[in-house]
A and B are shown apart, each in its own frame.
Chain A
Amino acid sequence: MDPLLTLHIRIINQVFELDKKTAAKPELSSLQRNIDRIKQHFEEAGYTILNPLGEAYRETRVDYEASITGEMSSEMEIVNVIKPVVYFTAGGQKSILQKGVVIAAAK
């Protein structure tokens, strides 16, 4: 992978961590605007950053890798996102740059 894209992915993952922390801690909410802005800059540069937290787990969705915790069930959801899904659009072509890393569990 292009070293610049690798670097961007690393930064995106860190911003994603910050985003998770600010969402969980009201005392950090003043950082949210800056985090949103960084995410927006990445989006303007062609990145699509997805956080599938809370979405239904689908085995046909291949842009994330899930670890399934607890018992299997027909109704499962994403309960934790360790790394976000990142797509990159270049020359009108959109493709996966980073698969998400998620934890799924029964609802």
Chain B
Amino acid sequence: MSQQINFGIDLGTTNSLIARFQNGTVEIFKNPFGQKETLPSVVAFRKDRIIVGDKARELIEKDPENVFSSFKRKMGTSESFFVPNSSDFKTPVELSAIVLRELRNFIYTGEKPDAVVITIPASFDTIQSNATKKAGNDAGFREVQLLQEPIAASLAFANKQVNAASLQGQWLVYDLGGGTFDVALVKIVDGEMRVTDHEGDNYLGGVDFDIAIIEKLVVPHLQQQGAYPELLTELRSARGKYNTLYHILLKKAEEVKVQLSNSPSAEIEFEIDEQDIYLTITREQFESVIYDTIQYSVDLVKKILDRNHLSAADIMEVVMIGGSTYIPLVKQLVTAQLDIPVNCSVDPTTAVATGAAWYAGTRSVSAPESPEKRQHSGAPVNIHFKTAYQKNTADKEEYFTAIVTGPVTGLSYRIVRADGGYDSGIKPLQERISEMLLLAENTNNQFNILVFDAAHHEISADTPVISITQGKFNIHGQPLPNDICIEIDDLENNTTKLELIFEKNAILPLRKTIVKEVMKNILRTGQDSLLIHVVEGSRYAVPGSCVPLGMIEIKSTDLLTDLVKGSDVEITLQISESRDLSVKAVLLMNEQEFSEVFNPQVRQINIGKLKDDIRQLYQKAAAKMKSFKSRQQYELAAAVQQIQEDLNQVSSRIDTISDDDVTDEKYQLEEKKRKLAQQLDSTGKDQQILEITEQYFKRKEYCLQTIREQEDDSRIARFEKITADESSYLSSQSYYTIKAKIDELDDLGWEIRRNKPETWINAYYYYASVTTDDYTDPQKAARFKDAGEKALERKNYDELKVVVNQLYHLLPDTKEGDQLKGTGIG
């Protein structure tokens, strides 16, 4: 069976692309560094490395002797370029081969094609064509088939049409790219597509339009605004006062040009002499400054038509390619002046590469490579790397060195970072290599070493992966010894609980912003307050047992407006390397800001909060005592009773302390309270964990059963996600962690049950069974019960749902104990 070539390359003057045909579609490969489809056809020779593409383009203006672009124009000539940095000569063929090799790196699938279709301009003669072929061979493509660019573009268009034979008779391919313009007359002769004439200008393209925006619109505007002597010169000259601004304007002008293709106007904004300039450019203005250039391109098209004695009626359509054909004026002028319909149905940037791949998909590889030769190119090279580098670092770059043993002569290498942010360029492989590796911050950086043979084909070698962790194991930073949490309200259990902010072992400094809800109305005239309480201790512990680090109390009298329940408070916590804790709270409702820096050496004790903690602990102790007694666990009950007595003592001592007490007593009492909280927490904890674990398994089973009845794959996946780390959370010994999982499972089950009528029927029967007099408003409850009966009769379950909700809200609040003072946030 013959093998198809499938790979097509647009080797452009300005940009190049590579594409592959597979299963009837074409994929354009992207640069692994930056994910762009286009690779600038630019090669830079630095002192110790070769750089290709975007990074090489950066250096064109500044190091023109060592950076080469537009060498395609010189293909097939005897011209060669001297490279001062390597004291060497490079031919256009060699430079093109470097670009082609770089494009091979775009193939992420691991394929190593040895045949390819490369496109050439219609103007290329035999020598130029052969030179392109040689560049392809030098780049490692054993077989190179050439295809004219206008034909490739036409194929891309033809294959896009529903009727593939839509391109009939003869047509024009108008190619206005970033830096060059070409137009070709194409027709089908003897069943074959052929370019019968062409015209072009090697120095006409999109960049000229960007410059026109600056020179003909921005500069005159600035000159009207103020005195900028010799502005244009100061912009364009490398030593000019505004040369930096010129580069900024070039980028901004390009953006404006793109925007104006879709909008009637675009804004350009920049700063000059510390003055902000906003300039709106309309499409009309833009068109007026580029009109002559586009008119010139249309004149070249007319020239072809005249030369071939053709009228508009003889041409089926004008196929538009090249990024600059996005500009509406281009289409308008071509249509209006030539009176020929324009075809813009494929992406003008990738059309040539797409067409090349389509063509490659129909062409067979003429002769497969001999197995011996293939073995030679793919055989691993016996070289070994002994590396030395720091695996953990606080620096943003790290020195890497390696001793390489084995036959390194003629080989080269390249080091690349897995996330695409670093590329060493191509460097000669020597017995000792070194490189300064740039690191992404606060993460593990993986680098791969690629090795190439003398012809720059990648070869298989036993290369190590370089792994450097930046920031996370910073030798200068210290890890947190405990979790840092804030205390929030747990209204369901009428208590407070901890929310993790910074995890134990996180490296200082740390910063985090969270948004919490205000859990109660706080009136300026009332006595309530909001507490932002930051503590240090296990996230699984009860809040009272943790070490308080800092607290901001926002009192009602501090408020600019009343604070409404449900509004948000944004809390930012920051811990410096020297362990200072900064807490900033912003009430988003009225934008009021409160902040404080806490020095951990100075413990902040709030007497009111201490009292509330004691009260909560006492309630908890009472509940535990009741539970132990009911299970006849008298030993545990006695321990709790002792804790209660101690709490009483602490409480009475607190009552004697004034708010402005200057002694150490409040600190001692806080310490005592913490110890009692720890004791209470651990008393009978095993039993509590056992109970919540039993409850967990029951609810898990119920949830799974509900999901299975529905045969819902997506919910099964969610169920599996919730329970994935079951062994970890069940062994956490944390009541709240297990409870949180139960809540997640209940929520998942409820999503299904709430859509089932029987859920609401059962709920209704429950509420109907409650004696009417037990509701807070018996008359209303009776009316709803009546409405419920009727809804049941009519099988109106939406109505029944409303009835159930109403009855629920008419039930008295059964929560035990005093109203929680808490923190007011949750």
What is the interface of chain A, defined by CB distance below 8 A to chain B? 30, 33, 36-37, 40, 48, 55, 58-63, 65-72, 79-80, 82, 85, 87, 94-97, 99, 101, 103-105
Contact = CB atoms under 8 A, between A and B. Distances in A.
Contacts of B436: 60
Interface string B434-456: 00101010010000000000000
Given A59-B51, A65-B58, A72-B62, A96 B420 contact: yes
B244 interface: yes
Contacts of B54: 62, 65, 99
B438 A69 contact: no
Contacts of B57: 65
Nearest to B243: A69
B603 interface: no
Interface stretch (B80-88, B246-254, B368-376, B534-542): B246-254
Interface residues of B, number: 42
Interface in B224-247: 238-239, 243-244, 246-247
B422 A62 contact: yes
Interface string B196-238: 0000000000000000000000000000000000000000001
Contact of B419 (A36, A70, A96): A96
Interface stretch (B2-10, B32-40, B402-410): B32-40
A60 B46 CA distance: 11
Nearest to B244: A69
Contacts of A59: 44, 46, 51, 55, 58-59, 425
B422 A96 contact: no
Contacts of B440: 48, 87, 94
A66 B513 contact: no
B420 to A, nearest CB: 5
B63 interface: yes
B513 A37 contact: yes
Where chain A touches its partner, the secondary structure class is: strand
B423 interface: yes
Contact of B239 (A48, A70, A96): A70
B47 to A, nearest CB: 10
B114 interface: no
Contact of A63 (B63, B421, B570): B421
Contacts of B418: 94
B46 A97 contact: no
Contact of A70 (B58, B243, B420, B423): B243
B58 A63 contact: no
A67 B420 contact: no
B239 A99 contact: no
B567 interface: no
A15 to B, nearest CB: 15
Contacts of B768: none
Contacts of A85: 421
Interface string B16-40: 0000000000000000011110000
Contact of A105 (B46, B244, B251): B244
Contacts of A87: 419, 421, 440
Contact of A40 (B246, B424, B443, B513): B513
Contacts of B423: 60, 62
B570 A68 contact: no
A41 to B, nearest CB: 10
B252 A62 contact: no
Contacts of A99: 34, 36, 54
B586 interface: yes
B660 interface: no
Interface of B: 33-36, 44, 46, 51, 54-55, 57-59, 61-63, 238-239, 243-244, 246-248, 250-252, 396, 418-425, 436, 438, 440, 443, 513, 570, 586, 591
A70 B244 contact: yes
17 contacts: A36-B513, A37-B513, A55-B396, A59-B425, A60-B422, A60-B423, A60-B436, A62-B55, A68-B61, A69-B244, A70-B239, A82-B248, A94-B418, A94-B419, A95-B35, A96-B420, A103-B244
Nearest to A105: B244
Contacts of B438: 58, 60-61
A82 B246 contact: no
A62 B54 CA distance: 8
A60 B419 contact: no
Most chain B Cβ neighbours within 10 Å, of A30, A63, A72: A63
Nearest to B274: A24
Contact of A62 (B33, B62, B239, B247): B33
Contacts of A96: 33-35, 419-421
A17 B419 CA distance: 25
B59 A68 contact: yes
A40 B51 CA distance: 35
A94 B238 CA distance: 37
Nearest to B242: A69
Contacts of A65: 54-55, 57-58
Contacts of A37: 513, 570
Scoring A60, A70, A105 by chain B CB atoms within 10 A of each residue's CB, the highest score goes to: A60
A34 B370 CA distance: 65
A59 B443 CA distance: 22
A62 B422 CA distance: 5
A84 B34 CA distance: 13
Contact of B443 (A71, A72, A94): A94
A67 B36 contact: no
Contacts of A61: 421-422, 438
Contacts of A101: 251
Contacts of B586: 33
A94 B420 CA distance: 9
Contact of A69 (B51, B247, B419, B513): B247
B50 to A, nearest CB: 11
Contact of A80 (B34, B36, B248, B425): B248
A71 B586 CA distance: 47
A60 B51 CA distance: 9
Nearest to B415: A60
Nearest to A61: B438
A62 B420 contact: yes
A67 to B, nearest CB: 4
B419 A95 contact: yes
Contacts of A79: 244
